[in-house]
Amino acid sequence: MGVFDIGLVAVIGAFAYAFYEQHTKTKVKLANANQSSDDVRVQLEQLKQRVATLEAIVTDKSYTLKDEINRL
């Protein structure tokens, strides 16, 4: 094994290590993004439930009656 071969193995090893390091960083970023999107989905579902509750209150006949009485 000559000097050229050793240099070639070192360069290939450096590229392989850089690729592995970048792959690991990307994997961590994707995991964090999935966690973040799950949190957003949970918050969105909670907001949908709150809006549905508010719609039920506002469309209730007793609420409309109170509003009409207050206008008089």
Q: What is the pLDDT of residues 24-64, one digit of tens each?
A: 999 888 888 777 777 888 899 999 999 999 888 878 777 67
Are 38 and 32 in contact, with CB atoms under 8 Å apart? no
Q: pTM score > 0.85 for this model?
A: no
Q: Please name the residue that has the structure tokens 């290590």.
A: 17
The residue with greater pLDDT, 12 or 60, is: 12
The predicted structure's pLDDT at residue 51: 94
- The domain segmentation of the chain, as residue ranges, is 3-71
Q: Which region holds residue 2: left if phi is over 0, alpha if psi is between -120 and 50, else beta?
A: beta
